[in-house]
């Protein structure tokens, strides 16, 4: 790395060479000191930095102050950061100065001063704080993460105002140099967990990281598993809860989605407002979500197994009703189910890609029209439409979209094996999924906690599992926190 010369002409030429053919990089020449005998120039990205002469900008105030000082006082003012500008950073090399400029800040070079100065300004344009879209709650904050990692860190600090909340910053991506922040509670996490995620971030080299999903795929231990090993959230309050549980939150610049680690099956079923509502309604909601996760994966396969191989378990009247509904349908049951499942998946994808209200409309109206038309044309039976629609409803009830995707994929394996060998195929698929989940870990934590390994936290995690006890009984942090820091709630004497 080449040191900054402190000669304004040389510094300007060198910096222009670094950003050659970059029309959006602006460099403005000025003179400082009461005699205007100190040459300087400011380099910045157009739009990312406001007018340097604007009274309210930090760079403008600094230049206005230095323009009326003696030469030696100018250098002293720069050395001491006399204006007390936040994030005022002195840089020693051209490479550091270039990196500073690309973060969206202004870089000041002064003749006779062998350093560059990074001064914060308005930064890159971003969408700001938005409402959380994919994790709707009945009660609680509606704030969602923004595209800026600095804003997202501040949203977490807004909720957990403790000096023990630490933020470790790393740059990921050889060319994108994306800022990645690891946010955690110093006295709650296991140091080995922080070392492990830092080690995994250092195990790959990639041109660019434009979203946290890239980091998730490159750092998960079992890449072939359909179940996510990071928990994703776009809610700052959910991330703050995770930090208070002794987990680490990974924030990626340009991404409104945070990654939480480690995680388990139960964490994906929980929602933020489970802790804001009374325990009765929270427990009912969780039971419904657990059932939804089961039926979202198994219901179409169960239907095929029962109607094709094990009709004796159905009441005679129901069996006759099924037979009457299928009268005139030219396709086997498996073709009906796969045809309708693919239609619903296509409608779901179309609804996501279409803008705003149009996307919601196509999902509802398209499902009704296609289902009704298919039944009237005798392409499928009404019972298949009901089964497929109920399965889709169950998948929508799962709070985490990435977690729900795993069940949507596994659903097709259940359909194939149940149509092939009936209930034996159902049991085979179910056993395979359970064996896989029992072997799956997220940063050393069993995926089926606290259903397995409940004794590791003295069976206290079971109080916040399928059902939720009143808050007064949830006095211990889950398995993620250090053993010596498990107590989180005490009654005052």
Which residue among 119, 147, 174 closes a domain? 119
Do 287 and 417 have their domain in common?
yes
Could you give the CA distance from residue 266 to residue 286 in angstroms, rounded to a whole number? 9
Which residue among 94, 119, 144 closes a domain? 119
Asked if residue 125 belongs to a domain, the reply is: no
Do 472 and 422 have their domain in common?
no
Asked if residue 363 belongs to a domain, the reply is: yes
Asked if residue 391 belongs to a domain, the reply is: yes
In this structure, the number of other CB atoms found within 10 A of the CB of residue 258 comes to 27
Do 288 and 426 have their domain in common?
yes
Do 318 and 421 have their domain in common?
yes
Asked if residue 493 belongs to a domain, the reply is: no
Do 72 and 198 have their domain in common?
no
Question: How would you list the strands of the sheet with 38-45, edge to edge?
Answer: 25-32, 38-45, 106-110, 116-119, 89-91
Which residue among 235, 263, 291 closes a domain? 263
pLDDT for residue 86: 61
Do 284 and 406 have their domain in common?
yes
Do 74 and 169 have their domain in common?
no
* Contact residues for 332 (Cβ-Cβ < 8 A; gap 6+): none
pLDDT for residue 438: 94
How many distinct structural domains can be found in the chain?
4
The CA-based dihedral angle spanning residues 261, 265, 269, 270, taken in that order and rounded to the nearest 10 degrees? -50
pLDDT for residue 119: 83
pLDDT for residue 359: 64
Q: Which domain holds residue 186?
A: 130-263
* Contact residues for 78 (Cβ-Cβ < 8 A; gap 6+): 66, 90, 110, 113, 115, 117
Asked if residue 124 belongs to a domain, the reply is: no
Strands (E), 132-265: 143-144, 165-172, 178-185, 231-233, 248-252, 258-261
Mean pLDDT by 10 residues, the chain (493 residues): 87 90 87 85 81 61 78 80 69 90 87 87 72 80 88 92 93 91 95 94 92 94 93 94 96 94 94 91 95 96 92 87 83 91 86 70 70 82 90 92 94 95 95 96 92 83 90 91 89 74
Do 292 and 434 have their domain in common?
yes
Asked if residue 378 belongs to a domain, the reply is: yes
Asked if residue 269 belongs to a domain, the reply is: no
CB of 141 closer than 8 Å to CB of 162? no
Asked if residue 480 belongs to a domain, the reply is: yes
Could you give the CA distance from residue 445 to residue 242 in angstroms, rounded to a whole number? 14
Do 429 and 455 have their domain in common?
no
Do 110 and 62 have their domain in common?
yes
Quote the pTM value.
0.88
Q: Which residue has the tokens 């010369």?
A: 5
Do 406 and 454 have their domain in common?
no
Do 369 and 288 have their domain in common?
yes
């Amino acid at each position: 790395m080449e040191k900054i010369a402190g000669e304004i002409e040389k510094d300007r030429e060198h910096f222009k060479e670094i950003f050659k053919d970059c029309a959006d990089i602006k460099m403005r020449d000025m003179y400082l000191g009461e005699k205007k005998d100190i040459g300087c120039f400011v380099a910045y990205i157009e739009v990312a930095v406001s007018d340097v002469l604007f009274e309210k900008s930090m760079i403008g105030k600094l230049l206005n102050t230095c323009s009326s000082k003696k030469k030696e006082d100018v250098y002293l003012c720069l050395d001491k950061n006399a204006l007390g500008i936040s994030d005022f950073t002195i840089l020693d090399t051209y490479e550091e100065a270039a990196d500073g400029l690309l973060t969206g800040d202004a870089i000041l070079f002064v003749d006779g001063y062998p350093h560059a100065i990074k001064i914060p300004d308005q930064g890159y344009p971003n969408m700001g704080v938005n409402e959380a879209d994919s994790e709707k709650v009945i009660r609680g904050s509606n704030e969602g993460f923004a595209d800026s990692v600095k804003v997202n860190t501040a949203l977490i600090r807004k909720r957990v105002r403790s000096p023990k909340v630490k933020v470790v910053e790393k740059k990921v991506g050889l060319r994108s140099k994306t800022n990645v922040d690891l946010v955690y509670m110093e006295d709650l996490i296991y140091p080995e967990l922080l070392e492990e995620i830092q080690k995994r971030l250092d195990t790959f080299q990639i041109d660019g990281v434009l979203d946290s999903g890239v980091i998730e795929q490159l750092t998960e231990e079992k890449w072939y598993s359909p179940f996510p090993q990071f928990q994703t959230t776009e809610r700052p309050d959910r991330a703050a809860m995770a930090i208070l549980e002794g987990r680490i939150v990974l924030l990626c610049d340009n991404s409104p989605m945070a990654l939480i680690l480690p995680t388990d099956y139960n964490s994906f079923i929980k929602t933020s407002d489970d802790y804001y509502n009374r325990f009765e309604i929270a427990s009912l909601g969780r039971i419904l979500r657990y059932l939804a996760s089961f039926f979202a994966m198994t219901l179409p396969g169960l239907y095929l197994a029962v109607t094709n191989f094990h009709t004796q378990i159905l009441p005679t009247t129901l069996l006759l009703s099924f037979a009457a509904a299928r009268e005139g349908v030219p396709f086997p049951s498996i073709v009906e189910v796969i045809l309708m499942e693919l239609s619903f998946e296509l409608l779901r994808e179309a609804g996501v890609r279409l803008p705003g209200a149009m996307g919601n409309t196509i999902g509802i109206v398209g499902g009704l029209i296609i289902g009704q038309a298919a039944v009237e044309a005798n392409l499928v039976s009404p019972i298949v439409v009901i089964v497929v629609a109920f399965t889709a409803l169950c998948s929508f009830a799962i709070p985490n979209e990435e977690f729900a995707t795993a069940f949507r994929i596994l659903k097709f394996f259940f359909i194939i094996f149940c149509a092939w060998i009936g209930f034996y195929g159902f049991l085979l698929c179910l056993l395979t999924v359970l064996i896989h989940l029992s072997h799956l870990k997220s940063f050393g934590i069993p995926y089926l906690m606290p259903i397995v390994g409940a004794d590791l936290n003295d069976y206290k995690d079971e109080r916040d599992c399928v059902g939720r006890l009143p808050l007064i009984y949830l006095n211990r942090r889950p398995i993620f926190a250090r053993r010596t820091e498990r107590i989180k709630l005490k009654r005052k004497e």
